Amino acid sequence: MINTALSAEVSTAAARRRTFAIISHPDAGKTTLTEKLLLYSGLIRTAGMVRGRKGGKATASDWMGMEQERGISITASAMQFPYKQAVINLLDTPGHQDFSEDTYRTLTAADSAIMVIDAAKGVEAQTRKLFAVCRLRRIPVLTLINKMDVPGRPPLDLMTEVEQALNIHASAINWPIGSGDEFIGIVNRADSQVELFQRTTHGGATKVEVRTMPLAALAQSERVSPDVLAQVQHDLELLEIAGNPFSREAFLQGEVTPVFFASALTNFGIESFLDAFVRLAPSPGARLADRDDGSELSVDPVTMPFSAYVFKLQANMNPKHRDSTAFLRVCSGRFERDMVVKHHRLDKEIRLSRPHSLVAQERSTVEEAFPGDIIGIINPGLFAIGDTISTTGGFNFKPLPQFQPEIFAHIRPSDVGKRKSFDKGMWQMTQEGTVQLMRSLYAQDPLIAAVGRLQFDVLQYRLREEYRVETVLDALPFTCSAWLDGDPMTFKAPSASMILKDQRDRVVVLFSDQLMKTIARDRNPGHTLRDMG
């Protein structure tokens, strides 16, 4: 246990922390929202628009050249910024389903999540998958219905879809006044106060001007048409009669999601949403770990000395720093620069030197950190995803699951003279989890595996840009896989399959399609095929 004075310091610091991830289907506005949160925190003065990437600025959270070219988030980035009395740790996750494994690992480091939904498209496929992960991990979710500045679906229909598609109660915290070009404000339901927004000459690059008034005075504002006003009043009355009540306790238990309406592009509603997030979202809580004797341990963020785990590795984030960064989630106690900790997997003591926090490519040295904080540590090859470190030892945080890959290929350098650089790059990419490396049971010829095709594109892009190696990729005719529990020598494999071992030396079976996988299960009742490890 830590001493009383230190415990009080950690308790105060932890209570201010809000560590969350943003989840969404691609193109719902997640990265734009991230940029606007930085704008309202004062961390940046002007927001760089996602839509203007080809000719203008890229968003601060996207650092990889390929992300800036394609306008999507490929890797999960982490950043910290103060907001009023809180300290925000924001984890911006990839929205594309091909990077769901990276998103899953990042969600383990979050205490809450913001689910961004496109007002025109509603709840989309990837949103459902990511919400299911949050539910599985008991992560409370706030819902932001975005893009209210363009024509979309009726707000009541969107609320109903959230409830039906995600099987959760939805409670509207605010309500939109108009939509598309007529979206001019929101009504805060708790106090019936209206926020009217004024478009600025700078578009969404600067903070929006807000005028507040009671709902009863809205009709005299001369900014809302009679039809829009009548619709708002009708919807609010209906919500009072048939809407779900909101309680923070139910939200923290995952029983209800608070719903907000906004436009990240124009900044309408962003500041009030951020205020509500700080008020509602949880500070860091206890985390489960496994003791060395097999029993379970609840790691309290305040009373336990320093502990953390690695949820992400990333190399070459900045061309000026050709190194690898291990991202650590602080789970308990206080971290201090240059402190000596126990590396549980390696069973050795290491010094955590050169700790830093990041916003995209910009690094800032970290002198101390507290529960909920995300810190980057230069990784000289010591860290692997899932590693636990602490000042006490004797336990490991719960392992991070893997997704089963669905596409497979052989890869080789176009120029055999680049083999050394190729091997170095491949080792780094597999350590980060960009792709998985597998080998035959009977030969050393490796192949690569991934959840989605875009991961292979990223692999080849980074080998070319960071290691100057052009590669040839030969796709293999398999579309699904499973980890095999049981003796592989007695496993009756279908003809259209292949048996391999992964990086953890576990046996993996590849199948041409789901039918072959089903046949394999039927043929081998004494074996188990697992879809997540």
- More confidently predicted of 473 and 462: 473
| Residue 252 clears pLDDT 90, i.e. is over it | yes
Residue 13 and residue 82 in contact, taking contact as beta carbons nearer than 8 Å = no
Rg (CA), the chain: 25
Tell me what pLDDT residue 25 has: 81
pLDDT digits (tens, 9 = 90+) for 262-278: 999 999 999 999 999 99
- More confidently predicted of 139 and 63: 139
Tell me what pLDDT residue 23 has: 86
| Residue 63 clears pLDDT 80, i.e. is over it | no
Superfamily of domain 16-280 in CATH is P-loop containing nucleotide triphosphate hydrolases (3.40.50.300)
- Tell me which residue of 524, 529, 527 sits closest to 508, measured CA to CA: 529
- More confidently predicted of 136 and 297: 297
pLDDT band, residue 334 (cuts 50/70/90) = very high
- Tell me which residue of 480, 408, 484 sits closest to 441, measured CA to CA: 484
Q: For the chain, what percent of residues have pLDDT higher than 70?
A: 86
Among the ranges given (111-120, 155-164, 351-360, 362-371), the one the predictor scored with the smallest mean pLDDT: 351-360
455 vs 100: CA distance, rounded Å: 10
pLDDT band, residue 95 (cuts 50/70/90) = very low
CATH number of 407-530: 3.30.70.3280
Residue 16 and residue 112 in contact, taking contact as beta carbons nearer than 8 Å = no
Tell me what pLDDT residue 317 has: 60
- More confidently predicted of 369 and 199: 369
| Residue 229 clears pLDDT 90, i.e. is over it | yes
- Tell me which residue of 122, 118, 82, 76 sits closest to 101, measured CA to CA: 76
| Residue 98 clears pLDDT 60, i.e. is over it | no
Averaged pLDDT score across all residues of the chain: 86
| Residue 161 clears pLDDT 50, i.e. is over it | yes
Among the ranges given (95-104, 106-115, 398-407), the one the predictor scored with the smallest mean pLDDT: 95-104
Could you give the dihedral angle defined by the CA atoms of residues 123, 126, 131 and 136, in that order, rounded to the nearest 10 degrees? 150
- For CATH 3.40.50.300, list the domain ranges present in the chain: 16-280
| Residue 339 clears pLDDT 60, i.e. is over it | yes
| Residue 70 clears pLDDT 50, i.e. is over it | no
Tell me what pLDDT residue 66 has: 44
Tell me what pLDDT residue 452 has: 75
Three-state secondary structure string covering 397-463: ECCCCCECCCEEEEEEECCHHHHHHHHHHHHHHHHHCCCEEEEECCCCCEEEEECCHHHHHHHHHHH
- For CATH 3.30.70.3280, list the domain ranges present in the chain: 407-530
Q: For the chain, what percent of residues have pLDDT higher than 90?
A: 55
CATH number of 287-397: 2.40.30.10
- For CATH 2.40.30.10, list the domain ranges present in the chain: 287-397
In degrees, rounded to 5, the angle at the alpha carbon of residue 506 between the alpha carbons of residues 504 and 507 is 150
Tell me what pLDDT residue 533 has: 53
pLDDT digits (tens, 9 = 90+) for 387-429: 999 999 999 999 876 667 888 999 999 999 999 999 988 888 8
Among the ranges given (125-134, 390-399, 437-446), the one the predictor scored with the smallest mean pLDDT: 437-446
| Residue 362 clears pLDDT 80, i.e. is over it | no
- For 407, phi and psi rounded to 5 degrees? -130, 150
Judging by beta carbons within 10 Å of its beta carbon (0-12, 13-18, 19+), is residue 193 exposed, middle or buried?
middle
pLDDT digits (tens, 9 = 90+) for 511-520: 999 999 999 9
